[in-house]
Copies of this chain bind each other. A is one copy, B any other.
Amino acid sequence: MFRNYKVRTDLALEARERFDEKDIKIRGVFVRENYNEEKEIRTTVVRIETENGAKTMGKPQGTYITIEAPNMSVPDEEYHKEISEEIAHHILELLPSKKTESVLVVGLGNHQVTPDALGPKVVDNLHITRHVIREYGRDLLEDDTSIMVSAIVPGVMAQTGMETLEIVQGIIQETKPDVVIAVDALAARSTKRLNRTIQITNAGINPGSGVGNHREGLNEETLGIRVIGIGIPTVVDAATIVHDAMEHLLDALEEQEQREFLDEMIAPNLNQMFVTPKDVDETIKRLSFTISEGLNLAFRQV
């Protein structure tokens, strides 16, 4: 119905749901759902396997794992260890099959904009080992970690004047990690998903995704190595809120009226605006712990 305005979501799960509403099957896209009652965690795997499926979904080919846990944004003394363990499990599955010896974690986003600070905050709590291993070897490390972990917070283009891709490409050329794990705050379509959903994918981070709208993707094609993307939706585009609110209302109007109305409403004012909850500071702080602990766990098990 809205041919011009494209509702934006970084979640493959939400991209898929739009077709469910209309009872459409999509070729080349497979979905498998699993619910862990005890832990109250729903895991959905969306696999986009063909070029055609990618086109229909508006997302690159790859595996998209979505972890939904309604209680995730609720305070918990251990920062939701059960979710950290789930993250670690999926990260380990997505790592290249041969032994991974070094990983570069990229904390995307702007550390000065609260809902966009997820990536930088995850990096803050990582257990960094590359410099220690290079200096003293693996024997010195207290735990069993033998993977070389390095990390960078590249900043956003307005702060650096550079594409994130340029910065990460340069660092990869110099330091030669086996795999990149890019962490980013995402945009969802529904406010109900904010801060309650984690997406892990081997498709990397895509152009136009994230709170800050990356212009070029970080993925195997652009970086030459496996790129695992981890994201949590922390905002909804303001235009999406209005769009969704009006969707069935508009049925009552003539098509001509609809067009004019949308052009007028959605376009200029709401551009570059986002919707986010008021308690976003506490939530981001806690979620970043859950993810960094998930990564720390995974790295100890490689």
Contacts and interface: CB of A to CB of B under 8 A. Distances in A.
Interface of A: 75, 110, 112-114, 123, 127-132, 148-155, 157-163, 166-167, 169-175, 190-192, 211-213, 238, 241-242, 245-246, 249-250, 252-253, 261, 265-266, 269-270, 272-282
B241 A249 contact: no
A171 B161 contact: no
Contacts of A110: 281
A254 B174 CA distance: 52
Q: How many copies does the complex hold?
A: 4
A167 B161 CA distance: 16
Contact of A276 (B132, B213, B274): B274
B161 A129 contact: yes
Interface hub of A173, A261, A270, A273 (most chain B Cβ within 10 A): A273
Given A153-B155, A160-B152, A171-B170, A212 B245 contact: no
Q: Which of A171, A173, A252, A265 has the most CB of B within 10 A?
A: A171
A276 B169 CA distance: 32
A220 to B, nearest CB: 18
A173 B175 contact: no
A249 B253 contact: yes
15 contacts: A112-B281, A114-B114, A123-B159, A129-B161, A152-B155, A152-B167, A153-B153, A153-B155, A162-B174, A167-B171, A170-B170, A170-B172, A211-B278, A242-B242, A272-B278
